[in-house]
Chains A and B, each alone.
With several copies, the nearest count.
Chain A
């Protein structure tokens, strides 16, 4: 068992799979010699060779395009998109091709690809280094979308994603790379040391895609969160002294409906958190699911706490980010009512 941060855990997952399976290839912008702008692939080229971990042209569409072709030819490519904000040139290759290949060929060809990409704000990245576009992918049948919130899950989910025979979008909350984040930018930065989810087993293990993790248990309210917001939820509920079920969804598609409904049926109250823009965010789907399945248990309207319906501004980072104040207001309001 080692103490790893999320970058190291991701690198470790890649290393484990590359060592086990020569069909696993890692590529993307600056991932080769340099090891990636967030260092997630550092050392992999040196260890596994230039042909297994290499730089690509700056062409997200091309990167996913070759991945589809390689996958159809028996490999398990793990391409990186440098920032999720730059994934859109690859949108067609992901949504029309990778996600559809199995269906349109009725299983004749498949695309087992794992697309890694950093998401979310909190690092003054502004409009084009802070986006959380998960909802643009959860609408795509044929694709899976996962997002870890800690080193343990990051490694286990990434290995599971690589071994999955369908394309998986693997979102990495960049604000969590080096430590959990309470949502308060003025508090001293934490690292993963001392956090039990920073304890990462060596070698191979998986975390099943589609299963949520219970971060804390309580009867007062259910909080559905993923990525960075998991830690904001934890900090706020602890500070408020609220007994909350905090569910870290981990996998957005497929989603863990059973855990969600069990919890909401118990608490009768639900707050959904995400960094992404509100309208048509993944919170909308969660809200719809909760009221469809727990209607008679609900004691207050399901609340969404999200980023605003604006691009992610630079100087106003903390006014945009759904931080502790916004979360606290929502929890209070959902607990006050009825």
Chain B
């Protein structure tokens, strides 16, 4: 195992993560703020009133399960159990799909393990007609909005049931009917598109808002700047979410951020409202999103939310995280697990217990296994995808021009 190189041998500063494989990670320096959650200002406040929020951390759930403070939302036990189920379905699906990729059933997969509360809490706070511009780690939004898990799986399997006819790699879903924009493989590009979507909504005097996502790593793309800048200039009704899960493949967040500032703080200088939230705290995510949605819908413009969380799994099926960070880092990460934290909250409320939790976990697993079986029967990469090859010539344009028709005929000839 390669060891950390001695260090810079010049004045060029290159940031390094605190721990690498072989180190014993110790996050005791990251204080988990218990009481200094910032106050909840009026959603239509002057953006300057939120500049402190960019540096602090909005939290609702204590580790004890208690929900406290200004931001504590008003959610019924029913809604919370529903959320828990979405979290657990998401995790179960990720688990299953990862394993099936390992068996060669699909080319690739990406888990959202550890970050499920960001997606689910966010989805709960929006209307289904609000358009999400997601990354590949917001599958929880689709699941919470009730998209067909079978269709999602078929997309990953690139099979006959794939609404995208096998055109895209796994996880790059498109579900317009669920307000879920087609995911691009190119990082960052959708941020500014979401701002444009919101501008169109304002132009049409419609109430719908856009919510755009990026990982903390991809904030370095120009599109992030475009998004903040255009959102500020035109007061676009949207939410700009940075999911800071600490890692961008093998690069720790200090490569994207520098070491001096939070990602939420990026918004301050553009005159945007800024919130920073414990992304493993579903109630906090919900509350922050609600606040930002209310602001956007009422003409207050965009909010930049940093969701502070941790990517527990590898980046994708293509990498092994123990090659660049300590194996047990996910366990010692001081903000806990979002499912565990919501579970403890529900138990604290006496609306849940361990037995029901185990039963639900089992139910999710079984349900996912059944759906998967059903999906896989429509084809997979290890066997036959059952996708018609000729579909590759479709949807390049609305109507295929002559040169594409000619190529279709060439393909016919070579397929004989």
Chain A residues with a Cβ under 8 A of chain B: 25, 29-30, 32-34, 37, 43, 45-46, 49-51, 54-62, 65-70, 72-75, 77, 85-86, 88-89, 92-93, 96-97, 100-110, 124-129, 141-142, 144, 164-166, 210, 253-255, 257-258, 278-279, 308-311, 313-316, 319-320, 325-326, 329
Contact = CB atoms under 8 A, between A and B. Distances in A.
Interface in B260-312: none
Nearest to B172: A104
A106 B163 contact: yes
Contacts of B186: 85-86, 88, 92, 96-97, 128
B166 A315 contact: yes
B397 A102 contact: yes
Contacts of A89: 188, 221-222
Contact of A85 (B176, B185, B251): B185
Contacts of A141: 396
B95 to A, nearest CB: 22
A58 B413 CA distance: 43
Contacts of B131: 72-73
Given A49-B5, A58-B256, A66-B193, 17 more contacts: A33-B250, A34-B323, A45-B5, A50-B9, A55-B251, A57-B217, A61-B226, A62-B227, A65-B195, A65-B227, A69-B197, A70-B197, A97-B189, A106-B395, A255-B403, A311-B396, A320-B392
B148 interface: no
22 contacts: A29-B248, A30-B251, A55-B251, A55-B255, A57-B217, A58-B217, A58-B248, A62-B192, A62-B226, A67-B196, A69-B200, A73-B196, A74-B204, A104-B185, A109-B181, A109-B182, A127-B185, A164-B398, A310-B404, A314-B167, A316-B166, A316-B387
Contacts of B192: 61-62, 65-66, 69, 93
B174 interface: yes
Given A49-B6, A58-B217, A109-B181, A70 B199 contact: yes
A104 B323 contact: no
A108 B164 CA distance: 9
Contacts of A100: 184
A56 B398 CA distance: 29
Interface string B378-415: 00010001010101111111100111100100110111
Nearest to A313: B392
Interface residues of B, number: 96
A316 B413 CA distance: 16
The 8 closest A-B pairs by CB, nearest first: A315-B166, A69-B196, A128-B185, A65-B192, A66-B196, A57-B220, A62-B226, A34-B250
Nearest to B208: A73
A142 B182 contact: no
A110 B181 CA distance: 11
Interface stretch (B12-20, B335-343, B365-373): B12-20
Interface of B: 2-10, 12, 14, 16, 20, 107-108, 131, 133, 158-159, 162-169, 172, 174-176, 181-182, 184-189, 191-201, 203-204, 210, 217-218, 220-223, 226-227, 229-230, 233, 248-251, 255-256, 318-319, 323-324, 381, 385, 387, 389, 391-398, 401-404, 407, 410-411, 413-415
A65 B193 contact: yes
Contacts of A74: 200, 204
B8 A51 contact: yes
Contacts of B385: 315
A285 B185 CA distance: 29
Contacts of B415: 319, 325
A254 to B, nearest CB: 4
A278 B401 CA distance: 14
A58 B189 CA distance: 12
Contacts of A165: 398
Contacts of A107: 394-395
A10 to B, nearest CB: 18
A72 B229 CA distance: 20
Contact of B169 (A77, A108, A125): A125
Contact of A58 (B175, B220, B387): B220
B212 to A, nearest CB: 9
B193 A34 contact: no
A337 to B, nearest CB: 16
Contacts of B226: 59, 61-62, 65
B168 A126 contact: yes
B397 A72 contact: no
A68 B193 contact: yes
A26 to B, nearest CB: 12
B398 A319 contact: no
Contacts of A124: 107-108, 169, 381
Contacts of B218: 58
Nearest to A251: B401
Contacts of B227: 62, 65
B166 A314 contact: yes
Contact of B203 (A51, A57, A125, A255): A51
A79 B401 CA distance: 24
Contact of B2 (A33, A62, A106, A279): A33
Residue among B193, B249, B393 with max Cβ neighbours from chain A (10 Å): B193
Contacts of A60: 221
B324 A33 contact: yes
Contacts of A32: 14, 251
A163 to B, nearest CB: 11
B158 A58 contact: no
A49 B12 CA distance: 11
Contacts of A66: 192-193, 195-196, 199, 230
Contacts of B393: 308, 310
B249 A62 contact: no
A58 B200 contact: no
B395 A103 contact: yes
Contacts of A25: 203
